[in-house]
Structure formats: C-alpha cells, structure tokens
Chains A and B, each alone.
Chain A
Amino acid sequence: MLSAALAIASKDLRLLLSRGTGLVQALLLGLLLIFVFSLSQRVGEVMGPQGAAAIFWLASAFCQVLIFNTLFSIEEANGARFGLLLAPVPVQAVWLGKGIAGFALLLCAQAVFLPAAVVFLGQTVSPLWHVGLATVLLADVGIVALGALLGALSQGQAARESLLSIVLFPLLVPVLLAGIRVGAAAFADDIPEGVDSWLGLVAAFDALFLGAGIVLFPFVYGGEE
C-alpha cells in the first residue's frame, strides 16, 4: 500500500508543480492573510507571540483547504477518479498518497509563512525553536490526515472551498490550539504549562484521525459523479 501511496503522491506533486500554479494560489492566500493581519498593529508596534502564532496557523489552515481541493480536483477531469478506483490497490492508498502530497505541499508553504510571520509580525526566534518545529511537523500530520479524508467529500462539488472550510476548521481546533500555544513559546521562550501535554494532545489527534481516515476513506471516495 505504501508504494502505491508514494506513487500517487509523486504523481500529484509532479502534476501540480509542473503546472507552476499548483501551490501559488495557496501560498499567496496565506501570505496575504499574514500581511493583512499585520495591519492590525500601529506602525512600530510589535505583535504578541501568541497573536503571531495564531496568524501563522490560520494561514496554514486556509492554505491546507486550497491544497486538498487542488489535490482532489486533479482526478475530476476526464473521469480520472475511476482510473484510481480501478487500480489494484486498496482505496486507502489514495488517501495516504493525497495525505503525503498534501503534507509536502503544506510544509513548503509553511517554510514561506514562518519567515513571513517573523518579518511582518516582528517576532524573534527563541531557543525553543526546535520544539516549535517538532510541533509543526506533528500537527501537520493530523491536519493532512483529516484534510485528505474530508477533501474527498467535496468531489464533484461547485462550492467546495467554503464547504470544506466550515466542516474542517472547527474539527481542527485542538491541533490549532496546540500549534498556537507551542508556536507562541517558540517565538517568546515562555510556556509555563510545559510542552509535553500539548505534544501528547497533538499525537492523540494524529492517531485518532489517521485511524479514522483508514476506516472511513473508502466510504467517501467512490465512483459517484
């Protein structure tokens, strides 16, 4: 299953990146969000670390919605979805493949958002940066597990972006809170309650939705038009 998933992921990444426009829309939206939120401060004012972390994760969440819509729309043309469904691999390989491709794209986008948040929102990087980075990686796993599952919901839908956002965002609350809290600590080196409980929470989220994805994806990814 893993090799099939990797094949699907590499196909998606090649298709999106060769087109050039694949990630650009998501990147631009995220950057715009960070820039617009930077206008909430007066000139010379520095945003609090928690506010900056919240904006970073908000940009990531919107970017992720666009990423999964794009990833699932690849197979919408010419009935390519039937090709994937007919392939002699478990249908969960499609979920895993989309998840891996989404993870890679989200990380690329965050590699741009992070310096943007530091620059536009006036943040510094504290000695806790490695914990922040580990949380980003761990949180992204849960986010893409859920995104790859729910991204398939919008197949054949015109209003997919808005629909996916309203279903997905509230479900992401636990992992966003963890990301914001530890992200704020990575900017300001201050987290009185410790990072362990937050990392545990994100790990639980990852495990829960990786399991849910494996069980539920075959139901949402079907041959219906």
Chain B
Amino acid sequence: MRTNRLSPVMPLVGLVAGLALALCQYMIFVYAPVEQTMGIVQKIFYFHMPLAWWSLISFFTVFAASIAFLRTRNWKWDALSGAAAEVGVLFSGLALVTGSIWGRHSWGVWWTWDPRLTTTLVMWFVYAGYLVLRTLDLPRERLGTVSAVVGIVAFLDVPLVFLSARLWRSIHPAVFASRGGGLEPEMKTTVIACIVAFGFLWAALTWLRAAQRRMAARIDVLATETTI
C-alpha cells in the first residue's frame, strides 16, 4: 500500500515548477530584449522551444518505460508510459500551436513543410492514437502489453519521419533558415531558464499522472476483489 501513496517530493517539484515559471515570465517579458524584426511575437519562442524539447523527452520516456514494462512486467512502468504520453501529447500540441503562430508572423504561412514541425505533428498523431488505444476496454495485462509494443514502435519511427520530411522538403521552397543562431546573451539565458522551468513542470505533471494512474489501477483491483 505504501507504494501507492503520493511521494512528499512531488508537491515540492510542483512548487519549484510554479516558482521557476513565474521567474521565467519576468525573464521573458522584462529581462530579455524585444527582438528587432519580429517584435513581441518572438517571445513565443521561449514557450515553443521548451514545449517541443520536453515533448520529445516525453516520447522517449514512453519508449524507455515501455521496454522496461515488457522486460519486468512492473506496472509502475506502464503508469509512467501512459503519463508521459499524455504530457507529451499536451506539450507537442502546444508546441504545434505556438509554432504555427510563429510561422504565420515570421514566414507568412500557418504551416510549412519543415522537418521539425512535420515530425512533431506526426508524433502528435501517433501518440494521440496511442492514448486512444490505452482507453480500450481490454484485460489489463493485454492492454499493458499492447500499449508497450505501440510505445516502442512509435518511437522507432521518429528518425525516419524526420528524414523523410527533410527529403520531402527539398522539393518545396525553403521558407526559412535555421533559427536560434545569433541570439542575444539575455535571450540565450532566458531560453535556458525556460527549458529548465518547463522541465520541472514536465516532471511534476508526469509524476502526478503516473501516481494517479497507479492509484486508479489499485482501485480497479480492489473493486474487482470486492465484487468477487
């Protein structure tokens, strides 16, 4: 039963995430200078990049936790992969929306065949499908195994999706050059602070959802035992 209790460290991580995000707001809107050509819209970058980074880390977590589940059959890995997929879909969805707003302002289009954007979109589709799969009414053992297999296969596809999107793009006009170069030192510090702050948020959300999932599974087991 002890393993199903919430760890006391978890609220602390959440608290640190909240404070760090508040500090980031100050850094984004006061400390970092306004970019000359893009103006205030460039501030999206400070949200977009951490969201995209941490969504990819989420998907890697799903992959690693799925392998761990298939090897050990320990349900904590199943809970972690489900939680990481949820946070990953949320973060990548937000990264897509912020990226789209950036693209509209920067290149005049809502969507462009950029390898990173396309990879993020395809991953969003894959992991949204994965989450639908996890809601199926299947025996717990089977659902855990099936989800783990899809979690592994999905991540194996990432490099190929990226490569194919890059090849595909060579037939389209390149609408932008690589961004992120030539950042002011204040901007660079702010980006790094945002990545760290979103990391805490990611850890707090993933941890909380994994704990909730473990508790839900425990309640299901108790309910079944009571019925029997």
Contact A212 B152, beta carbon cutoff 8 Å: yes
Count A-side interface residues using an 8 Å CB cutoff.
34
Residues from 144 to 171 in A contacting B, C-beta threshold 8 Å: 146, 149-150, 153, 156-157, 159, 163, 166-167, 169-171
Asked if A177 contacts B136 (CB within 8 A), the reply is no
Q: Is B122's CB under 8 angstroms from A201's CB?
A: no
Assess the B145–A222 pair: CB atoms within 8 A: yes
**Interface: A84 (CB within 8 A):** no
At the interface, yes or no: A45 with Cβ under 8 Å from chain B?
no
Is the beta-carbon distance between B141 and A177 smaller than 8 angstroms?
A: no
Mask for B4-35, Cβ within 8 A of A = 1, else 0? 00000000000000000000000000000000
CA distance A120 to B149 in the complex (A): 40
Question: Contacting chain A: which of B41-49, B153-161, B188-196, B216-224?
Answer: B153-161
Smallest Cβ distance from A147 to chain B, in angstroms? 12
Instruction: Give Cα distance in the complex from A178 to B142, angstroms.
Output: 34
Is A193 a contact of B167 with CB atoms below 8 Å?
A: yes
In the complex, A219 has a CB within 8 A of chain B: yes
Majority secondary structure of chain A interface residues (helix, strand, loop or mixed): helix
The total of chain B residues at the interface (CB under 8 A) is 34
Q: Is the CB of A174 within 8 A of B130?
A: no
A220 near B149: Cβ-Cβ < 8 Å: yes
Specify which chain A residues have a CB less than 8 angstroms from the CB of B126 in the assembled complex: 167, 170-171
Chain A residues near B101 (CB, 8 Å)? Answer: none
Q: Is A112 an interface residue (CB 8 A)?
A: no
Contact of A167 among B129, B161, B163 (CB under 8 A): B129
Which residues of chain B are near A181, meaning CB under 8 Å? 167-168, 171
Which residue of chain B has the shortest Cβ distance to A216 in the bound complex? B149
Q: Take A167-B133, A170-B129 as given contacts and tell me if A153 and B171 are in contact as well, using a CB distance cutoff of 8 Å.
A: no
A219 contacts B70, C-beta separation under 8 Å = yes
**For window 177-201 of chain A, which residues contact chain B by CB distance below 8 Å?**
177-178, 181, 192-193, 197-198, 201
B170 at the interface (CB under 8 A from A): yes
Q: Which listed residue (B152, B165, B167) contacts A198, Cβ 8 A?
A: B167
Asked, given contacts A149-B153, A171-B157, A224-B142, whether A166 binds B163 with beta carbons under 8 Å apart, the answer is no
Q: Are A201 and B150 in contact (CB under 8 A)?
A: no
Tell me whether A77 is interfacial, beta carbon within 8 Å. Answer: no
Is the beta-carbon distance between A177 and B132 smaller than 8 angstroms? no
Contact between A153 and B150 (Cβ–Cβ < 8 Å)? yes
B125 at the interface (CB under 8 A from A): yes
Determine whether the beta carbon of A166 is less than 8 Å from that of B168. no
Does A157 lie within 8 Å of B136, measured CB to CB? yes
Check: B148 CB closer than 8 A to any chain A CB. yes
Chain B residue numbers with a CB within 8 Å of A157 are 136, 138
**A residues in contact with B146, CB < 8 Å:** 153, 220
Nearest-neighbor residue (CB-CB) of B164 within chain A? A174
A177 touches B70 (CB 8 A): no
| Contact (A177, B152) CB under 8 Å given A170-B126, A220-B145 | no
Q: Are A177 and B165 touching (Cβ within 8 A)?
A: yes
A70 to B98, CA, bound (A): 42
- B180 contacts the other chain (Cβ, under 8 Å)? no
Q: Name the B residues within 8 Å of A173 (CB-CB).
A: 122, 157, 161, 164
Closest Cβ of chain B: how far from A91's Cβ, in Å?
13
Is A28 at the interface (CB under 8 A from chain B)?
A: no
B136 near A166 (CB under 8 angstroms)?
no
On whether A153 and B157 interact (CB within 8 A), knowing A173-B164, A201-B164, A224-B139, the answer reads no
Q: Determine if A216 and B129 form an interchain contact, defined as CB atoms under 8 angstroms apart.
A: no
Contacts of A198 in B (CB 8 A): 167
Query: Is A108 an interface position by the 8 A CB rule?
Result: no
Q: Is the CB of B153 within 8 A of A216?
A: yes
Beyond the given pairs A163-B136, A167-B126, 6 more chain A to chain B contacts, judged by CB atoms under 8 angstroms and listed by A's residue number, are: A156-B138, A166-B125, A166-B132, A173-B157, A174-B157, A224-B139
- Please give me the 3 A-B residue pairs with the lowest Cβ-Cβ distance, nearest first: A174-B164, A170-B125, A174-B160
Q: A: which residues have CB within 8 A of B?
A: 146, 149-150, 153, 156-157, 159, 163, 166-167, 169-171, 173-174, 177-178, 181, 192-193, 197-198, 201, 204-205, 208-209, 212, 216, 219-220, 222, 224-225
Supply 5 A–B pairs (Cβ within 8 Å), ascending by A.
A150-B150, A201-B163, A204-B160, A212-B152, A216-B152
